[in-house]
Amino acid sequence: MTIDKSVFLPVDPDTAFSLITEPERLRRWQTVAARVDLRVGGDYRWTITPGHSAAGTFTEVEPGRRVVFTWGWEGSAPAADASTVTITLVPGDGGTTVRLVHEGLTPEEAVGHTEGWVHYLGRLEALATTGDAGADDWAAAPDPINELISAEATLAVAQRVLAGLTAADMDLPTPCAEFTVAALVEHLIGSVSGIGKALGATLADDAGASPEVRLANAAAPTLEAFNARGLYGTVDMGFAVLPAATVANILNLEFLVHAWDFATATGRTLEASPMLADYVLSLARNTIAPSMRGKSFAEATLVEESAESLDRLVAFTGRQVSNA
């Protein structure tokens, strides 16, 4: 079975090519995380939605014109005749036609992939047309869920908040009394990088990059390494040996709670599904011991019984919620 879909983007072919191949651009419309080695024989790994990562190899790369790559879901047994995605860019009056052909699918696969490509090509068109495809509803409330799947979902939330930070925001105070926005960025990158190094991930930090890019550069390899090892056993964090599930819980808190910190500091509204916030609150209750209060976390604050899930989560971590 073959899927053949096209969209018209009001951008030139080189810009269109960057939208479909560069990690920073892919995160705006298709992926939570993306690793790309864009050359013939190079591989990629794209976390499309939390818990679902596609991987394959580039077989043709013609910048501004065409890219071809194999496609398969991570964790699935490779088919004897793996499917292939070909994306061709055709310049036209006022923009570029992006034609996507996905070949080698079973009838069952074609149904799901057709739905997926229609969804994501629509988001690509929205991004190219308006500059913002919006938060992806498909990434908001994963089901089923575990500590690693929720970490990918909370990463998506955090990246969207950090992508909106500006240079003028860096000196603003945050709900973490000892941190400005700039200092909290450094704390977050340091925490995620520390976990990644403990997991054996290879990390590279460009201090001159934007906060969102720096977070993605730390989080993507960290979560890829975590998914490869799983939630079994323990992780030597240097300062302590912790259960792997506890380390994953920490990632969830770092991503979602600090996303709230950044949004609050800059007067923005954080978009997070109640289901995800409730799940991370359950992880927080299993992670934040009474002995940690007054050290890593302040005492829990009070909120109304009717408070939203996210407010209950941040109050549990010691933040003051404005409507409490």
140-316 classified as CATH 1.20.120: yes
Q: What is the CATH number of domain 3-130?
A: 3.30.530.20
Sign of CA dihedral 207, 209, 214, 220: negative
Q: Give the model's pLDDT for residue 324.
A: 43
Instruction: Give start-end residues of each CATH 1.20.120 domain in the chain.
Output: 140-316
Stated pTM of the model: 0.95
Q: Give the model's pLDDT for residue 162.
A: 98
Q: What is the DSSP string of 74-134?
A: TTSPPPTT-EEEEEEEEEETTEEEEEEEEES--HHHHHHHHHHHHHHHHHHHHHHHHS---
- Residue 294: how many other CB atoms lie within 10 Å: 10
pLDDT tens-place values along the chain, 324 residues long: 999 999 999 999 999 999 999 999 999 999 999 999 999 999 999 999 999 999 999 999 999 999 999 999 998 765 445 799 999 999 999 999 999 999 999 999 999 999 999 999 999 999 999 999 999 999 999 999 999 999 999 999 999 999 999 999 999 999 998 899 999 999 999 999 999 999 999 998 898 999 999 999 999 999 999 999 999 999 999 999 999 999 999 999 999 999 999 999 999 999 899 999 999 999 999 999 888 887 778 889 988 878 999 999 999 999 999 754
Contact 318, 298 (CB under 8 A): yes
Contact 45, 74 (CB under 8 A): yes
Instruction: Give start-end residues of each CATH 3.30.530.20 domain in the chain.
Output: 3-130
Q: Give the model's pLDDT for residue 181.
A: 98
